[in-house]
C-alpha cells in the first residue's frame, strides 16, 4: 500500500528530527522540495535549469515546475511504498495539485502531521544562540551557556548574536509561518487528515505520538 505523509510545523518544532525518525521506522524516503530543487539544479536537469531561473532572481518556483519535479521523484524506485513530504504543499491550491499528482500514481495523502509547540518554547529553542567571533564556536543561553556571559569558553574571544538568532527575528519567522500555513491547516482539518503533534516534549515522546498517529491512519485505511 502506498503511504504519503505530509509534514507541517513551524521552525523549531522538531520537524526535521521527526522526519528522520519516521523515514527510518517506516522505511519511506524523506522528500523535501528544497532538496529536490538543489538536486535538480546540481545535476543540470531541464527542470532544474528552469527552477534556477526563478530561484536566482529570488522568486518562488512556479507550482507546475515543482509538481513536475515531484512527479519525477515519486516515480523513482525508493518511493515505491510512498514518501514523507516536507515543504510542500504550502497552500490549499498546492494541496489540490498534490492530490491530483498522487491520484495519478494510485495514491493520496494519507496523513498530515502538524508538529507544533507554544510560541515561547519555539523562541527558546531557536533564539538565544551566541557565536564566537574568532572560531565560530556556538553557545546557547538556555541549553549551553558559556561560563562567562559574552565570552567564548574555548578561546576567550567575544560572542555575538547573529540576526537569525535574535528573538525578534525568530518571532517574525514563526508569525509568518503561522499566517502562511493556517489556510492549509484548515484544508487538511476539513478533510479529516490532520493530526496535531505536541512537539514540546522529548524527541522520544514526540516520536511515540508520531508513530501512534501513523498506525491509526493505517488502521483506518479501507
- Positions in the binding site for Zn ion (CB under 5 A): 132, 135, 137, 152, 154-155
Active site residue 15: yes
What backbone phi and psi angles, to 5 degrees, belong to 48? Answer: -65, -45
Nearest CA to 86 out of 187, 183, 7, 17 is that of 7
Diameter of the chain measured on Cα atoms:
62
Unique residue bearing C-alpha cell 516520536:
207
Catalytic residue among 149, 162, 191, 218: 162
Length of the chain: 222
By three-state DSSP, how is residue 108 classified?
coil
Active site residue 129: yes
Select 133 or 205, whichever has its Cβ closest to Zn ion: 133
By three-state DSSP, how is residue 112 classified?
strand
By three-state DSSP, how is residue 61 classified?
coil
Active site residue 173: yes
Active site residue 38: no
The cell numbers describing 80, all together, are 515505491
First-to-last CA distance in the chain? 11
Cβ atoms of 145 and 139 closer than 8 Å: yes
Q: How far is the CB of 135 from Zn ion (least distance, A)?
A: 4
Q: How far is the CB of 156 from Zn ion (least distance, A)?
A: 8
Q: How far is the CB of 128 from Zn ion (least distance, A)?
A: 17
Q: How far is the CB of 137 from Zn ion (least distance, A)?
A: 4
Active site residue 125: no
**Catalytic site residues?**
15, 90, 129, 162, 173
Amino acid at each position: 500500500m502506498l503511504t504519503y505523509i505530509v509534514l507541517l510545523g513551524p521552525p523549531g518544532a522538531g520537524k526535521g528530527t521527526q522526519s528522520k525518525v519516521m523515514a527510518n521506522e517506516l522505511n519511506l524516503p524523506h522528500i523535501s522540495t528544497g532538496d529536490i530543487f538543489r538536486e535538480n539544479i546540481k545535476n543540470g536537469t531541464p527542470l532544474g535549469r528552469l527552477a534556477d531561473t526563478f530561484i536566482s532572481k529570488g522568486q518562488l518556483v512556479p507550482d507546475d515546475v515543482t509538481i513536475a519535479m515531484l512527479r519525477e521523484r515519486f516515480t523513482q524506485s525508493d518511493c515505491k511504498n510512498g514518501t514523507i513530504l516536507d515543504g510542500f504543499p504550502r497552500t490549499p491550491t498546492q494541496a489540490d495539485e498534490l492530490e491530483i499528482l498522487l491520484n495519478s500514481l494510485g495514491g493520496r495523502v494519507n496523513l498530515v502531521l502538524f508538529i507544533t509547540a507554544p510560541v515561547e518554547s519555539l523562541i527558546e529553542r531557536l533564539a538565544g544562540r551566541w557565536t564566537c567571533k574568532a572560531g565560530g564556536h556556538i553557545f546557547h543561553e538556555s541549553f549551553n551557556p558559556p561560563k562567562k556571559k559574552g565570552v567564548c569558553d574555548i578561546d576567550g574571544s567575544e560572542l555575538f548574536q547573529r540576526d537569525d538568532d535574535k528573538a525578534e527575528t525568530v518571532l517574525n519567522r514563526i508569525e509568518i509561518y503561522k499566517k502562511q500555513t493556517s489556510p492549509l491547516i484548515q484544508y487538511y482539518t476539513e478533510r479529516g487528515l490532520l493530526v496535531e503533534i505536541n512537539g514540546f516534549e522529548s524527541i522520544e515522546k514526540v516520536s511515540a505520538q508520531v508513530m501512534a498517529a501513523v498506525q491509526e491512519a493505517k488502521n483506518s485505511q479501507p
